[in-house]
Amino acid sequence: MEPRRPFQDARQTERSSFTRGRADVSTHEAKCATTAPERLARRWYRSPRFYVAALTCCLLLGGGLCLGFPRRGPEPPEVDMSGIDPAIVAAVEEARSRVRESPRSAEAWGKLGMVLVVHDFRAQANFCLAQAEQLDPNDLRWPYYQALGALIVADAEGGLPKLERAVALCGDDFDAPRVRLAELLLSQNQLDEAEKHFRRLLEHNAHHPRAQLGLARIFAQRGEPGASLVPLSFAQKDSRTRKTACQLLAQIHQQLGNPAAAEEARQQAASLLDDPSWPDPLNDQATDLCTGKKVWIKRARRFADLGRDADALALLQRTVNEYPEADDAWLQLGKLLLRQKKPAAAEQALLRATELAPGSHESVFYLGAALVVQGNLPAATTCFRRATELKSDFAPAYYNLGNALADVGNSAGAIGAYRMAVRYEPQMVDAHLSLATLLAGSGQLPEAIVHAHHAQKLRPADPRAAKLMERVLVKLFFGFRFR
């Protein structure tokens, strides 16, 4: 019996067949045939084509890294949002997400910095604005907003170099950066440097009111008060600098030994509203990013001051919708509706304000005003009394209480209310006139003359004061019945 052959699979069978078919191949050739692939594997890297291919791969990989995979910038800074208005949180998070999406974008970093700086996150804002400035060093906004952030907290040392950089980039395209720089230098007593910038402004606008006011201050600080008079004459003519110019003029006349002129300038300054902020389009771009309840209320008030009542109303309605528990928003809405002669709607808004803040004298006062317009004098009188209880020196409440009492024939009560009004606000002309009228009608002529004289002095151009004084004097000397 033949011994059993060991098991072979198909590959072993094929190899055996191939060997039998090549029996005539020499041992040397068979050896070469089996080792040639091994020799090729050991020698392929010595080919010049290998080096060319390797170099090409390196170049392509390096180019891909430079073009397709840009170096990622730093992460946006963390901001503690605990207790912050939700609208502000949403604005910050949106700006942060844009930076993460475009970490090499100066605009994205700058926008985040602007959002942070207007919401008082100065350290984080400076980091973002510095990144934006590094990515785009020719954009004046980034150093300018860093400077504004420093000026808000009176950091002149940190703001000055950034402000100088912004002015260098800005040139004469906008005057606000140079105005801020000149006034900052003036505040640091760098008079010569400040004067250079003020005169640069005057080269482009010979009547530039802030530059003229700045020169007047420089002359005053140098001990040349007489030289301040000419530039102050220009500053007095512009509504944006009139009050400050009158205040400085009073000081100048006092130094020059002109007390009468100084007093006249002081009285004129007292009768004027505060000077508005100097127009600054770049600053407006940043402040427009402010959001949240307080900002919306302030913005609505500004819209109303500008006569944009529709915009103010829309913004306040949005505010009370998103912040239904905000008594200050309901108060502003009521005041606006009252000014728009919508007393019923104003009453509802003001009732809501008083429900949310029962201790707010202002809300109670304006509720009384809305009731007066609708003819509900008893309820209005109650509101005005309550306002005086909540704030004992609140002159407008006493004045309106006097009006309400006078309308129902309570002269004695009205006189007492008017007396309290002028006690706490001596400049209230209408209260002096109303009090003088009631005093004269009740025969208290000497006191009536005093208040009529006050009204005439406070408002010389008001014909009511002069006419009232004439009537009181006629009654005093001739005994005619006062009407």
pLDDT at 435 over 80: yes
User: Residue 4 pLDDT more than 50?
Assistant: no
Q: Which residue type does 96 have?
A: R
pLDDT for 367-395, tens place per residue?
Answer: 999 999 999 999 999 999 999 999 999 99
Q: How confident is the model at residue 56 (pLDDT cuts 50, 70, 90)?
A: low
Tally of CB atoms within 10 A around 205: 12
| 411-424 vs 429-441: helix crossing angle, rounded to 10 | 150
* pLDDT band at 72; cut points 50, 70, 90: low
Tokens of 257: 């030994």
Average pLDDT over residues 318-329: 96
Instruction: Convert the pLDDT of each residue in 403-427 to its tens digit.
Output: 999 999 999 999 999 999 999 999 9
Q: Which residues contact 132 (CB under 8 A, 6 or more apart)?
A: 106, 107, 109, 110, 113, 139, 141, 142
Give percent of the chain with pLDDT exceeding 90: 72
Question: How crowded is residue 177: how many other Cβ atoms within 10 Å of its Cβ?
Answer: 27
Assess whether pLDDT exceeds 70 at residue 479. no
Can you tell me the mean pLDDT for 21-36? Answer: 45
Average pLDDT, the chain: 86
71-100 average pLDDT score: 91
Full DSSP string of 429-440 = HHHHHHHHHHHH
pLDDT at position 140 over 80: yes
- Domains delineated in the chain: 86-270 (1.25.40.10), 292-371 (1.25.40.10), 392-483 (1.25.40.10)
- Write down the pLDDT at residue 428: 94
Q: Say what the pLDDT of residue 8 is.
A: 44
> Is the pTM value of this prediction over 0.85?
no
| 165 CB-near residues (< 8 Å, 6+ apart) | 140, 143
* pLDDT tens digits, 260-293: 999 999 999 998 989 999 999 999 999 999 999 9
pLDDT at 17: 36
The pLDDT value recorded for residue 468 is 83
- Percent of the chain exceeding pLDDT 70 equals 83
